[in-house]
Amino acid sequence: MLIILEPNLSYETIESLIERLTWMGFHVVRQGDDKLTLVSGVDKQVIMQDFLALPGVKQVMSLKSRFKLASRQSKAENTVIDIGGVQIGGGDLFVIAGPCSIESEAQLEACALVAKSAGAKALRGGAHKPRTSPYEFQGMGLEGIKLISRIAKAHGLLSVTEVMSEDQAYEAAPYIDILQIGARNVQNYSLLKELGKLKNPILLKRGFATTYQEFVMAAEYILVGGNPNVMLCERGIRTFETYTRNTLDLTAVPALQEMTHLPIIVDPSHGTGVRSLVPTMARAAVAVGASGILVEMHPHPDQSISDASQTISFSTFNHMMKELKAIHEVMRRF
């Protein structure tokens, strides 16, 4: 059930309305200044007229979508996430760049310098790495988190890093702007529930075999927990093809945009696993209407501790950024 509020209501009026609805047995989530969504308790025997009689209520609509908060029905306009003036999901192209793993201060410094000068807005790097083998490098942990936080800030970039557990999320939250949830954890519901309690925007990656419905429902877990700032990231799915590491599903971008108001980011690095294909698929992602790109780069790509085969060089990155800007300019006209 969606409750549209009268314009310009006082804080007290809205609060007492929420209190009353909660008392009536509904789980109420506030969406922006003018909407309340009743996400549970809606099977109660209360008729529309009863809601309309409440002070401050302008209109009542029943929500057909299973996504009470993420759907276009509950919020028609795009969600724009604003982090200190950097907007994600508005008109600008949001580029996240950096190494797969944080390896050293020198490595991150070099990446930050290039990312900033080419127009990227965020520096990425993994400090807790979800490696297939337990014998491979697992990441620098908290030391890496502090490093990326400091270097990103020094260069006027946002920081992005992956967390794999509730403990890691709480540990990283004070240092990191955007917490990434990796493909392997997209349906880790206890983790998603905790992320709802945090203030940090969340970059939620699609799993290897996650349907669009399951993906949006995973975001719904974070939204209903009270964190409205979620961006979805298409990063390739597993198919029968072996030439590429994954199959980058660009249909996900317009399809998810029909289903949800949340910003959609594309990761052509994990999406292909092949360095030579990354710039081309990044261009395609911008052309298909993605709000942003996540790309892995490194001062010496072949020496990357993880994901070397998909990591691009600085010169490739700089060239790609020029192409992305040109395509994005054209896209603005549509």
Residues interacting with ligand PEP, by CB under 6 A?
100, 126, 130, 182-184, 205, 235, 270
Contacts of Mn ion in 270-309 (CB under 5 A): 307
Q: Which residue's beta carbon is nearest to the bound ligand PEP?
A: 182
* Amino acid (one-letter) located at 137: F
Which of 100, 176, 217, 262 is close enough to bind Mn ion by CB under 5 A? Answer: 100
- What the block records as the tokens of 159 is 């920081």
Question: Looking at beta carbons only, is 155 or 205 nearer to ligand PEP?
Answer: 205
Provide the minimum distance between the beta carbon of 270 and ligand PEP in the complex, in angstroms, as a whole number: 4
Question: Looking at beta carbons only, is 149 or 180 nearer to ligand PEP?
Answer: 180
Question: Looking at beta carbons only, is 194 or 267 nearer to ligand PEP?
Answer: 267
- How far apart CA 217 and CA 330 sit, in angstroms, is 33
Provide the minimum distance between the beta carbon of 199 and ligand PEP in the complex, in angstroms, as a whole number: 22
Q: Which does 205 bind (CB under 5 to 8 A by kind): ligand PEP, Mn ion, none?
A: ligand PEP
Could you tell me where the DSSP H helices lie in the chain? 11-23, 48-52, 105-118, 142-154, 166-172, 189-195, 212-224, 252-259, 268-272, 278-287, 314-332
Q: Does 162 bind Mn ion (CB under 5 A)?
A: no
- How far apart CA 102 and CA 172 sit, in angstroms, is 14
- How far apart CA 108 and CA 8 sit, in angstroms, is 47
Provide the minimum distance between the beta carbon of 138 and Mn ion in the complex, in angstroms, as a whole number: 13
Would you say 202 and 173 are in contact if contact means Cβ atoms under 8 Å apart?
no
Question: Looking at beta carbons only, is 37 or 180 nearer to Mn ion?
Answer: 180
Provide the minimum distance between the beta carbon of 14 and ligand PEP in the complex, in angstroms, as a whole number: 38
* Geometric angle at alpha carbon 92, from 87 and 93, rounded to 5°: 105
b/e code 274-284 from CB counts within 10 Å (16+ = b) = ebebbbebbbb
Would you say 142 and 127 are in contact if contact means Cβ atoms under 8 Å apart?
yes
Q: Which residue's beta carbon is nearest to the bound Mn ion?
A: 100
Question: Looking at beta carbons only, is 234 or 307 nearer to Mn ion?
Answer: 307
Q: Does 103 bind Mn ion (CB under 5 A)?
A: no
Question: Looking at beta carbons only, is 126 or 301 nearer to ligand PEP?
Answer: 126
Provide the minimum distance between the beta carbon of 225 and ligand PEP in the complex, in angstroms, as a whole number: 21
- How far apart CA 127 and CA 209 sit, in angstroms, is 25
Provide the minimum distance between the beta carbon of 25 and Mn ion in the complex, in angstroms, as a whole number: 45
- What the block records as the tokens of 87 is 């907007």
Residues 6+ apart with CB under 8 A from 12: none
Provide the minimum distance between the beta carbon of 243 and Mn ion in the complex, in angstroms, as a whole number: 19
Q: Which does 183 bind (CB under 5 to 8 A by kind): Mn ion, ligand PEP, none?
A: ligand PEP
DSSP string, 272-288: H--GGGHHHHHHHHHHT
Question: Looking at beta carbons only, is 74 or 311 nearer to Mn ion?
Answer: 311
* Residue 212, CA distances (Å) to 79, 196, 236, 298 in order: 18, 20, 12, 31
Contact set with Mn ion (CB under 5 A): 100, 307
